[in-house]
Amino acid sequence: MLLFDRVRPLSIPLFLVVVMMLCLAPLAPASAAPDMTTAVRVASAAPLKTPPVPTVTGKTKVGYTLTAVPGIWGPSPVTLKYQWKANGVVVIGATAATYKLAAAQAGKALTVTVTGTKAGYTTASKTSTPTAAIAAGSLGPAPVPTITGMTKVGYTLTAVPGIWGPAPVTLKYQWKANGVVVMDATAATYKPAAAQTGKALTVTVTGTKAGYTTAARTSAGTAAVTPAGPGVDVSWPQCGKPLPKGQSFAIIGVNNGLANNTNSCLATQLSWAATSTGGTGQPLVALYVNTGNPGTAGSWWPISNTYAGKTVANPYGQCTKGSVGSACSYMYGYAKAYDDANIRGVKNPASYTWWLDVETENSWSTNKAANRADLEGMATYFASIGAKTGLYSTGYQWAQIVGAVPSTSSLYAQRSWLAGGSSLQNASSMCSAAPLTGGGKVTMAQYISGGFDYNKSCI
């Protein structure tokens, strides 16, 4: 027989079962709805040990490094992070315990916020008290400049500033003569002018950089500036010969001894002339041309007032074939000047001063008025292209060829270049001699030395 066959079943009425179940159920307010979810209690994160307020150490000046001192955080270990701020504004990228003060922080107060984190603990942040306003940085190195070059009028001096830092530093220059500012001398190089003769030069270099205090350093004075040297004139006789060096200015002969030919060394000599150092009132490079008034004995002589396709306004009237008077002499001079400017190989002829070389060794008319007209024609052409002119001769030769010039002549106010000096001292005295024409001025005097023609500038 099976075991359950031995158990006697209980005979309990159904209504009693219901009553027993109701008695066993817990009572609840009618308003309470049954909670169908399981409630889980979460423990609150523990606070970190009272974190200290950080401090900042270091010199509060641009270019120096500040250090955050966070204090001791706990319970150890605590991960610390940093954020620097300037006047309360986050400094981008400044998230280390140290910070090197940049130019942008000049004049601002800095703080550092230290944030501590630890698993299972509430994150905490503490901010330092502000620093003093950040002072502008000091440029360094800021060396005393030096000056290189020859202390002579017309030669270039160069300021050597040395290495300034922290790079980059903007440098400006100011040259002074005997302590007085030289106007517009604000580049790293300076070419002393005649006004600086006998004076010592200095250069002040001023360095500037945002966030840094401006600094200035002044060089020691140079030796006294010496005067400019003389100029030199050369032409076809000097072809192929070594030419002087260091000339202050140069005058190059365009012709080969006559008014109707060309100096074969013109291009080479113009290149040499371009090395002139300056320092006088003369242009660095000028030109001179041979003149003459050969009449019908020359290889060419005008027969009308037309040249190079242009009819020239002739103050002496109409030039006609066979005439050797002032009208045709004027046209001859005009034509020779045209040739000098256009067919001799001179580039940009209007940029030069053209000296008219008047000497008795060339062919001239016995008619001084015609000779004057010849030179007037040359001066008129050069003036028409915007070029300046002047007259070269000795007083004696000028008197023989041209004589007195009326105030109505275009030659009357021309500058004079006097020939015939025997030395620099003699040429210097010629600067106060009478000019070739009544309205002119002696601006240059020539003398011979070592086989070359040197020239003293009188301006």
DSSP string, 316-354: T----TT--SHHHHHHHHHHHHHHHHHTS--SSGGGSEE
Q: Are residues 315 and 431 in the same domain?
A: yes
Kindly tell me if the per-residue pLDDT of 22 is higher than 90: no
Residue 30 falls inside a structural domain: no
Residue 29 falls inside a structural domain: no
Counting every residue written for the chain, the total comes to: 459
What is the pLDDT, as a whole number, of residue 236? 97
CB contact at 8 A, 355 and 417 = yes
Domain of 143: which CATH number? 2.60.40.2700
Q: d(Cα 201, Cα 185) in Å, to the nearest integer?
A: 11
Q: Which of 105, 136, 167 is the last residue of a domain?
A: 136
Residue of 142, 180, 179, 144 lying closest to 159 (CA atoms): 144
Kindly tell me if the per-residue pLDDT of 13 is higher than 70: no
Residue 34 falls inside a structural domain: no
Across 89-117, average pLDDT = 97
What is the pLDDT, as a whole number, of residue 279? 87
Q: Which of 186, 218, 250 is the last residue of a domain?
A: 218
Burial class (CB in 10 A: 0-12, 13-18, 19+), 362: middle
Residue of 104, 84, 105, 81 lying closest to 94 (CA atoms): 84
Domain of 236: which CATH number? 3.20.20.80
Q: Are residues 128 and 149 in the same domain?
A: no
What is the pLDDT, as a whole number, of residue 330? 98
pLDDT band with cut points at 50, 70 and 90 for residue 248: very high
Residue 169 falls inside a structural domain: yes
Task: List the single range of 24-38, 160-174, 345-359 with lowest mean pLDDT.
Answer: 24-38
Residue 167 corresponds to which tokens in the numbers above? 């790079």
Number of domains in the chain: 3
What is the pLDDT, as a whole number, of residue 194? 86
Q: Which residue(s) pair with 233 in the sheet?
A: 251, 453
Across 236-247, average pLDDT = 95
Kindly tell me if the per-residue pLDDT of 33 is higher than 70: no
Q: Which residue's structure tokens are 């030096």?
A: 146
What is the pLDDT, as a whole number, of residue 45? 85
With a CB cutoff of 8 Å and minimum separation 6, the contacts of 408 are: none
Residue 387 falls inside a structural domain: yes
Show the domain range for 208: 139-218
- 398 phi/psi in degrees, rounded to 5: -60, -40
Residue 122 corresponds to which tokens in the numbers above? 């509430």
Kindly tell me if the per-residue pLDDT of 34 is higher than 70: no
Q: What is the chain's mean pLDDT, rounded?
A: 91
Q: Are residues 150 and 94 in the same domain?
A: no
Q: Are residues 292 and 433 in the same domain?
A: yes
CB contact at 8 A, 56 and 66 = yes
**What is the side-by-side order of every strand in the sheet holding 79-86?**
89-90, 79-86, 110-117, 124-127
- Per-residue pLDDT reduced to its tens digit, 184-220: 999 999 999 889 999 999 999 999 999 999 999 999 9
Question: Which H or E run contains 417?
Answer: strand 415-421
CB contact at 8 A, 239 and 210 = no
Q: Are residues 312 and 240 in the same domain?
A: yes
Q: d(Cα 40, Cα 35) in Å, to the nearest integer?
A: 13
Residue 233, CA distances (Å) to 72, 143, 249, 260 in order: 88, 45, 9, 20
Quote the percentage of the chain above a pLDDT of 90.
86
- Per-residue pLDDT reduced to its tens digit, 162-175: 999 999 999 999 99
What is the pLDDT, as a whole number, of residue 274? 97
Q: Are residues 321 and 380 in the same domain?
A: yes
Quote the percentage of the chain above a pLDDT of 70.
91
Residue 31 falls inside a structural domain: no
296 secondary structure, DSSP code: G
Across 18-45, average pLDDT = 44
Across 299-328, average pLDDT = 97
What is the pLDDT, as a whole number, of residue 43? 53
pLDDT band with cut points at 50, 70 and 90 for residue 38: very low
What is the pLDDT, as a whole number, of residue 206? 98
Residue 205 corresponds to which tokens in the numbers above? 């270099």
What is the pLDDT, as a whole number, of residue 154? 84
- Per-residue pLDDT reduced to its tens digit, 57-77: 999 999 999 999 999 999 999
Identify the residue with better confidence: 195 or 416.
416
Q: Say whether 17 sits in a helix, a strand or coil.
A: helix
- Per-residue pLDDT reduced to its tens digit, 355-389: 999 999 999 999 999 999 999 999 999 999 999 99
Q: Are residues 198 and 245 in the same domain?
A: no
Q: Which of 116, 136, 156 is the last residue of a domain?
A: 136
Does the pTM surpass 0.75? The reply is: no
Residue 181 corresponds to which tokens in the numbers above? 């500012």
Across 394-401, average pLDDT = 98
Q: Are residues 329 and 268 in the same domain?
A: yes
CB contact at 8 A, 334 and 306 = no
